[in-house]
């Protein structure tokens, strides 16, 4: 099992580190990809180094895409490579997990039509305008899309994400 996390400056540390380490604890090979290969800084000043530039991502190598919260999704969604990667994951039936503002990338990829999801309340109207069905729940699983409202809901999100990767059909859902 391999997971890809799209990250940029302004990532929300809890929504990156907690799922990242939970995946690693489960033996998942995790890659951090970013538009620009430089040291990345989170909302609270934590720094990380990405593993791979977005332009080098081969989506066939991964089973799960994670989109953390923060202001990073706003930066990521402006990159065609990120939108293409996200669209490819959704269209190929692989797992996509998005936290808080992470669904902004899904909006730009045009992949929310008819999907039920949760997100940060600040983007709920954007989700609705993009054809998504917003619900104010801690986490929601709709097909291959697992969404989380925010940092307070990360324990439930991580439990559900781990359950997905442990299921026999975890690599493809469609």
**Residues 17-69 pLDDT 10s:** 999 999 999 999 999 999 987 889 999 999 999 999 999 999 999 999 999 99
What is the average pLDDT value for the chain, to the nearest integer? 94
Confidence of residue 174 (pLDDT cuts 50, 70, 90): very low
Smallest Cα–Cα separation from 52: which of 67, 40, 35, 64? 35
Q: Please give the Cα distance from 50 to 46 (Å, whole number).
A: 13
pLDDT: which is higher, 168 or 36: 36
Active site residues per annotation: 101
Q: Please give the Cα distance from 127 to 48 (Å, whole number).
A: 29
Q: Please give the Cα distance from 13 to 47 (Å, whole number).
A: 9
pLDDT: which is higher, 39 or 146: 146
User: Please, what are the domains in the chain?
Assistant: 2-166 (3.40.50.880)
Region for residue 10 given its phi and psi (left: phi exceeds 0; alpha: psi -120 to 50; beta: otherwise): left
pTM given for the model: 0.94
């Amino acid at each position: 099992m391999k997971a890809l996390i799209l990250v940029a400056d302004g990532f929300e540390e809890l929504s990156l580190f907690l799922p990242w380490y939970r995946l690693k604890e489960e033996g998942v090979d995790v890659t951090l990809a970013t538009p620009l290969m430089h040291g990345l800084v989170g909302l609270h000043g934590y720094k990380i180094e990405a593993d791979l530039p977005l332009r080098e991502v081969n989506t066939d190598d991964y089973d799960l895409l994670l989109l953390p919260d923060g202001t990073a999704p706003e930066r990521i969604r402006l990159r065609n490579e990120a939108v293409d990667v996200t669209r490819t994951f959704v269209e190929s039936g692989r797992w996509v997990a998005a936290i808080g503002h992470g669904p902004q990338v899904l909006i730009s990829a045009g992949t929310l039509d008819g999907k039920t999801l949760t997100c940060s309340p600040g983007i709920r109207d954007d989700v609705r305008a993009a054809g998504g069905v917003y619900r104010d729940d801690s986490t929601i699983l709709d097909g291959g899309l697992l969404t989380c409202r925010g940092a307070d809901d990360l324990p439930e999100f991580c439990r559900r994400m781990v359950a997905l990767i442990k299921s026999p059909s975890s690599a493809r859902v469609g």
